[in-house]
A = this chain, B = another copy of it.
Amino acid sequence: METIRIGIVGYGNVGRGVELAVGANPDMRLEGVFTRRSPGSVTVMDASVPVMHVSEAAGKREDIDVMILAGGSATDLPVQGPEFAALFNVVDSYDTHAKIPEYFESVDRAARGASRVAVIAAGWDPGLFSMNRVIAGALLPSGACHTFWGRGVSQGHSDAIRRIKGVTGGVQYTIPLEEAMHKARVGESPGLSSKEMHLRDCYVVVEEGADRARIEREIQTMPYYFAEYETRVTFVTGEELRAKHSSMPHGGFVIGSGRTGRQGSSNQVMEFSLKLDSNPEFTACVLTAYARAAYRMHREGQEGAKTVFDVPVGHLSPKSPAELRKELL
């Protein structure tokens, strides 16, 4: 079995998950972790893996087949994506949906110039969920497809709570509404909006003597984040927040439905769902499988930016095409 040599850029929650995921795949070996911090300050789980400063990465072009970019979408990837795609095959989980087209273009240019493959936005949404949206739309063109998120922690909404005066801690769970999920399955109300589909459940720690009524009102009326949604606020102590709300679960549902038959008499429902105890660790699993695909596509002579829409599913597996047909088709 050939060995795919992997590098990781960025060692946060996702980067740590990638280290574990690479270790779980016998056809891969972790060659190094690259960080913008002082390398001596970063301790990886496998002590035999070298930790280097990102500035040293360019010198490792011959030693790494695929670099997995584990940084954030807000500031890390817009710079690192094109920078590393000009040097390595890369994979990332860029997730700012609205800016994907421009990010794709910038990474595509860099990767083509270097004859490298760059798989962008390869997490679960964007990523696996996106694939299911495309399949549902292609198979049931007159149907509708809805994406529900949760139950899971939304980092953006949790941050928004914590910016309110008097708040010292907070976690927001996005929860899909059962009734809306039922409507999506039976094909009613094709145009469900996000606020009709989700509940926002907030656990908030406040300073002593803070005005809870004012804080609850500020959360529930915050434009864009909460105002349009059914929003529940529960005040908890700092200890409760740490004990019960410090893990990072997430998940969701992509529900496609449509009618077939001469009189549209048959309802057909496709559903893909994830229930994840750890969002970053699962994202790391997706990134690692797509690293294998990037390696293969590069070997086939492909180049440029790719998304989950461009990658044949068989490329994710360590099994050969013949094994896959025999064992899993």
Contact = CB atoms under 8 A, between A and B. Distances in A.
B265 A277 contact: yes
A104 B325 contact: yes
Interface stretch (A154-162, A227-235, A307-315): A307-315
Copies in the complex: 2
Contacts of A100: 325-326, 329
A243 interface: no
A269 B276 contact: yes
Interface string A257-280: 000111001111111111111100
A259 to B, nearest CB: 9
A131 interface: yes
A126 B324 CA distance: 12
Given A131-B313, A317-B138, A329 B121 contact: yes
A168 B27 CA distance: 56
A73 to B, nearest CB: 13
Given A260-B20, A271-B273, A101 B285 contact: no
Interface of A: 17, 20-21, 24-25, 45, 97, 100-101, 104, 121, 126, 128, 130-135, 137-142, 185, 251, 260-262, 265-278, 281-282, 284-286, 289, 292, 307-314, 316-319, 321-322, 324-326, 328-329
Contacts of A101: 322, 325-326
Contacts of A281: 260-261, 266, 268
Contacts of A139: 282, 285-286, 289, 316
Top 4 A-B pairs, shortest CB-CB distance:
A309-B314, A266-B277, A266-B278, A138-B316
B126 A329 contact: yes
Given A21-B260, A138-B317, 20 more contacts: A128-B270, A130-B329, A135-B289, A138-B316, A185-B275, A260-B278, A268-B276, A268-B277, A268-B281, A268-B282, A269-B274, A271-B274, A273-B273, A307-B329, A309-B314, A309-B321, A310-B312, A310-B321, A311-B312, A313-B313
